Chain A
Amino acid sequence: MKTPDDERRDRELLSRLAAGDTAVLAELYDRHVGALLRHAVALTRQTAEAEDLVHGAIVKLAGVGAPLLGVRHPAGYLHRILRLTWIDGLRQTVRRGEDPLVDDIAVTDTVDLGAALDVRCAMERLSAPQREVVVLHLFTGFTFKEVGHIVGVPTFTAASRYRLAVERLRHLLGTAR
């Protein structure tokens, strides 16, 4: 979970990066790679693709330049860059005429739900936007307001998306309340 001191340190690192200090890249990477990779896995479902996405996002961050001076919430900003990189990748895939591996719609349940699925399978059966919200809120600790800002939806939509995802997981995991 991030603290005000973390945010201050991140802002300082981004300012130095904007000024051309390459040494800060390693610290930025170490501080955020875990959360970024989780987010990337939520979007792509494949660790190898997720690593490529993190790679692309950090390269993009390195070239941003002066606008980094105006970033108020660095963690959310990094996740927004990751998401934009993912969307750019999807657009390029579509332009090349390939099928993008996007699962915007949750997988329809065809298995016997009486037998509870394990957590990994249940997460994979969520749609990408639902999985993304679960990862950002539950695993990374962003508030719904921050999640909404990262994902580009209102706070209420982020919260209801999360609630629906948890309800679906409850159903898939066979956990009675």
Chain B
Amino acid sequence: MTPTDPVEARLLDEWPLPEPSARLRTRVLGAARPHVRPQVSWTDRLWFSRGWRLAASAILLGLAVVERVPEASISGRHDVVSVAAALESARAVTDTALDVGLSVDQADRLARQTLLAAMRPPPAALREDLAAADTMIP
């Protein structure tokens, strides 16, 4: 660092830097050596390794992504199936309405209501009833 400030320059030039005494080295090394113990296990090496931590993060992230993808694809497929079934029901309602002699407008209105009802998820109680009815049908 080259100071541009005269105070900094003066400090660097004039502040007496302390010199460690000759016996400090012997004293420090003599006192510190007994405290050193081989304490590193392979789990420590793994835990404190930067590479391992990055790899663990990447795996967790990967798992989170994998966890979400099938859910999305299953729910997407379910939506497609529901829409196709709703359109089929609406068409059947229109045909039946015309067969019984209702006007085209009334048949369209009925079909629209059928479509809207089919797109709404059924309430939990109704879902349970439907599931029970499925098991009763031979």
- The yes or no verdict on A and B being binding partners is yes
Please report A residues at the B interface, Cβ cutoff 8 Å.
1, 17-22, 25-26, 29-30, 33-34, 37-38, 41, 47, 50-51, 54-55, 58-59, 61-63, 65-67, 69-70, 72, 118-120, 123, 134, 138-139, 141, 166, 169-170, 173, 175, 177
Q: Tell me which residues from 6 to 58 in chain B have a Cβ below 8 Å from any Cβ of chain A.
A: 6-8, 10-12, 14-21, 24-25, 27-29, 31-33, 35-41, 44-45, 47-50
Cβ of B123 under 8 Å from chain A: no
Chain B residues whose CB sits within 8 angstroms of the CB of A20 once the complex forms: 36-40
A26 touches B29 (CB 8 A): yes
A17 touches B11 (CB 8 A): no
A34 touches B20 (CB 8 A): yes
B1 touches A119 (CB 8 A): no
Complex-state Cα separation, A83 to B4, whole angstroms: 29
Chain B residues whose CB sits within 8 angstroms of the CB of A139 once the complex forms: 11-12, 15, 17
B24 touches A54 (CB 8 A): yes
Cβ of B138 under 8 Å from chain A: no
Q: Contact size class for B? A: 35 or more
Binary interface profile of B, 73-89, with partner A (CB < 8 Å = 1, else 0)? 00000000000000000
6 contacts between A and B (CB under 8 A): A18-B39, A54-B24, A62-B32, A66-B41, A69-B48, A120-B15
